[in-house]
Amino acid sequence: MNERLIAYKCHGSENGPPIQTHPTEMALKATIYKANLQLSDMDRQLYRDQALTIARHPSETDERMMIRLLVFALNLPAGDSPLELAKDLWEADEPSLWQKSMTGEIEHWIEIGQPDEKRLMRASARAERVSVYSFNSKTATWWSGIQTKITRARNLSVWQVKADQSEALAALAQRSMQLNVTVQDHVVWMDNGQSSVEILPVRLYGTP
């Protein structure tokens, strides 16, 4: 799960200076976070304890990481196919989260942020279902520029988490987290035993 930087390996002859040769790889290291989620989703009658290890990319903020955990809880399936934290910041060909069948088909492709229409249309062709969760103050501008370009994607849902709510979630971030997530009447509460955040995701596109 590493993003690659290019470094150069040098060697030289006995009588000359070092000569630059082929590139080798130097890895950016992930920071490991751990979270135990206790989910009580009364809307879906789903109750689950889930332990997660997050290999956090150096560019990922607390806010985005906590949105990933929120989205994981909201999309945790009741069936056998597991939902996984994918490697989108490390690998361009992966989403933020995905659910695969036992035979490898992509059942649910989930994007965090503001992907362009080309990425979403490719995902729509690859997966049975595609969801997007946008979470910062740029959502309105992004959505106004993309909404008329994705109408052929019949398996797509787009959600917004308001910026003040996602910023409040960021304050819950720790290297080791015990988080309670409660869902009732489409309202979500996430707390760590000391602070609680209320989230009301807004559907911008798609049907339940």
What's the CATH code of the domain at 85? 3.10.640.10
- The pTM score is 0.85
Token output for 98: 């995905």
Render pLDDT for 152-184 as a digit per residue (tens, 0 to 9): 999 999 999 999 999 999 999 999 999 999 999
Q: What pLDDT is stored for residue 208 in this prediction?
A: 64
> Would 103 be classed as within a structural domain?
yes
Relative to beta strand 31-41, strand 176-184 is parallel
Low-confidence residues of the chain: pLDDT under 70: 1-27, 208
> Would 12 be classed as within a structural domain?
no
Relative to beta strand 176-184, strand 4-12 is unpaired
> Would 5 be classed as within a structural domain?
no
> Would 117 be classed as within a structural domain?
yes
Tell me which DSSP letter residue 59 carries: T
Number of domains in the chain: 1
Element (H, E) at 25: strand 18-27
Q: What pLDDT is stored for residue 5 in this prediction?
A: 34
Token output for 113: 């942020």
Distances (CA, A) of 105 to 6, 108, 129, 132, 166: 33, 9, 11, 19, 31
Q: What are the strands of the beta sheet with 83-85, ordered from one edge? A: 83-85, 97-100, 106-112, 129-134, 156-160, 202-205
> Would 24 be classed as within a structural domain?
no
Domain that holds residue 186: 30-205
> Would 71 be classed as within a structural domain?
yes
> Would 14 be classed as within a structural domain?
no
